[in-house]
Amino acid sequence: MTRHRTQVCIIGSGPSGLLLGQLLHNAGIDAVILDRVGREYILARIRAGVLETGTADLLETAGVGERMRREGLVHDGFEIAHGDALHRIDLKTLTGGRTVLVYGQTEVTRDLMDKRAASGATTIYDAGDVEPHDFEGSSPFVTYVKDGVSHRVDCDFIAGCDGFHGVSRSSVPDRAISTFEKVYPFGWLGVLTDRPPIRDELVYASHPHGFALCSMRSATRSRYYIQCDVNDRVENWSDDQFWAELRQRLPVKIAENLKTGPSIEKSIAPLRSFVSEPMRFGRMFTVGDAAHIVPPTGAKGLNLAASDVHYLFDGLREYYAETSSAGIDAYSGRALARVWNGIRFSWSMTRMLHRFPDDDPFDQRIQATELGHMLSSKNAQASLAENYVGLPY
């Protein structure tokens, strides 16, 4: 078995692992990133990309903001469709000038991968049997197998950035962790197409048939979603059936502007809210989807991962620069406070805009009243906007 020494071993090369790795590298802190799959597999995954101001600023700090600022689409607001009415939530006005940036998560990942490669920092792809060890003691290490050879990485700390199904959280003893979960009784059927978006800003639609979302990846590539049964299958939906159902859920005045085309990618995503606590286990930290999942309503997944990175990087930088463990000791509490706000916001948007199959007439009236209040109250819209652009770190 070969042995290697680093300061921080990061498991997972998604955006959170890569962002943390780049920030550490820029600060002169050595970090190795391990991933069980290859670069091209990771880049083939299609993910949303509505970036809060804090996330965009953190990417700038990491040195990967140039293409994002050039190609990303600044959105001052978004729209909510209810019946045949369209209501605009003016983010910029309601939050005193704050906006969001539409830039695909795949592009964020690509930028971070390219930056890391140019920096000469170590990333090991296709690493099999990755496993963290002794993280509750003073000498943690990670083992993996590459090309038939066993390797060991000794380190000061382990950062588990390996997603919901990753090995980091599953390596924690049951006695040391608490989980909270809500599984929603529906999914999102999503279609990606090379057609201009229906509107310049995102449209969230509430309709008796179910929720719909009109979003985009660029000025020429659109991403559309409709709420579907949790047990539905992609094979049940032709492109024509999808477009017909989407049109039905949108106000007539914008449905007629929908430019349809063949789907590049079509998939069904189940919806869940999930949090595991704490986010620190001795010398191992969980980050992003390894610790929490949100429904895509409200676009908080990537942004919560970025705020985790912010808090963990601050703590590690303080540890190495000032030999103080105050920041890493505070990491779990600081991260979870923001995570639960994101969980609450995503849940509230999901509850307000979707059709729940088990709702009785009382539930339906409450939902309609909640949506109506939000659309008629500037104070309610200001709260929605504040959470949508992202609470401060």
E strand or H helix that includes residue 105: helix 105-119
> Does residue 89 lie within any of the structural domains?
no
Q: Say whether pLDDT at 157 is over 90.
A: yes
pLDDT at res. 331: 98
Determine the average pLDDT of the residues in 131-154.
97
Is 388 considered catalytic here? yes
Residues 208 and 262 in one domain: yes
Q: Which domain holds residue 58?
A: 2-75+99-180+272-349
Residues 240 and 319 in one domain: no
pLDDT at res. 38: 83
E strand or H helix that includes residue 307: helix 301-322
Whether the CB-CB separation of 153 and 194 falls below 8 Å is answered with no
Average pLDDT across the chain, whole number:
96
Residues 325 and 380 in one domain: no
Residues 204 and 173 in one domain: no
Residues 135 and 58 in one domain: yes
pLDDT at res. 222: 94
> Does residue 339 lie within any of the structural domains?
yes
pLDDT band at 44 (very low <50, low <70, confident <90, very high): confident
Is 75 considered catalytic here? yes
Q: Say whether pLDDT at 225 is over 80.
A: yes
pLDDT at res. 30: 97
Closest CA to 266 of 187, 190, 186: 190
CA distances from 145 to 37, 149, 170, 284, 346 (A): 12, 5, 19, 20, 38
Domain with residue 134: its CATH number is 3.50.50.60
Count of the separate structural domains present in the chain: 2
71: number of Cβ within 10 Å: 13
Better-predicted residue by pLDDT, 39 or 351:
351
Residue of 25, 75, 292, 310 with catalytic role? 75
Residue of 25, 82, 300, 354 with catalytic role? 300
Q: Say whether pLDDT at 87 is over 80.
A: yes
Strand partners, 149: 146
The C-alpha atoms of residue 98 and residue 95 are separated, in whole angstroms, by 6
Residues 29 and 110 in one domain: yes
pLDDT band at 380 (very low <50, low <70, confident <90, very high): very high
Residues 266 and 276 in one domain: no
Count of residues for the chain?
A: 393
pLDDT at res. 45: 75
Is 300 considered catalytic here? yes
pLDDT at res. 54: 95
pTM surpassing 0.85? yes
> Does residue 90 lie within any of the structural domains?
no
Residue of 103, 144, 184, 204 with catalytic role? 204
pLDDT at res. 348: 97
> Does residue 85 lie within any of the structural domains?
no
Q: Say whether pLDDT at 219 is over 80.
A: yes
